Amino acid sequence: MKMMFNLDEIKELIELVDKTSVHELELENEGSRLCIRKPGKSEVVHVQPVVESAMIQPAGAVSINAAAGIPAAAAEPAPVQPAEQDSNLHTIVSPMVGTFYRSSSPDANSFVNIGDRVGEKTVVCIIEAMKLMNELEAEVKGQIIDVLVENGQLVEYGQPLFLVKPE
């Protein structure tokens, strides 16, 4: 089979995809097919059922979100509210966007649980970003008061993860 893309063209396409917001490029040329994908660009989409009583509209009107099967309320995630508002508590926040893991593997024990005492260098969780596992340390000596996110949850930069009562 003869390849219809030369190496210089492929390199140029890879550079273009890398420099843009395009996550995937697929081309076909005279029976040859080329697919370029950026690594670690998976998206999780949660679709919730449409509640008919909440979607009352005039006859013939179609909501874009309703047509997609997503209620308007599901379009924006609710802000995370700490369980306890105490000015003496230290909040451990996510230093990056990624996936929050409480343990090093699915069958391992959690790094920390509510009530555990931690030191400045105690690993409290892992944030996975672009296939890299980043250990997050407590950075304060104290006791874990609350875990604010679920295992496997996508977290944002600056999102509160733990509340610690400093010693």
**Number of domains within the chain:** 2
CA pair distance 88, 135, nearest whole angstrom: 25
pLDDT tens profile 119-165 = 999 999 999 998 899 999 999 999 999 999 999 999 999 999 999 99
More confident residue, 100 or 2: 100
The domain in which residue 16 lies consists of 7-37
CATH number at residue 104: 2.40.50.100
Mean pLDDT of 15-31: 73
Tell me the mean pLDDT in the region 53-71: 44
Whether the pTM exceeds 0.75: the reply is no
Kindly state whether residues 160 and 94 are assigned to the same domain.
Answer: yes
Q: Which residues of 29-65 are buried (b: 16+ CB within 10 A; e: fewer)?
A: eeeeeeebeeeeeeeeeeeeebeeeeeeeeeeeeeee
Are both 95 and 161 inside the same structural domain? Answer: yes
The answer to whether residue 53 is domain-embedded is: no
The secondary element (H helix, E strand) that includes residue 26 is: strand 24-29
| Residue-level pLDDT at 40 | 59
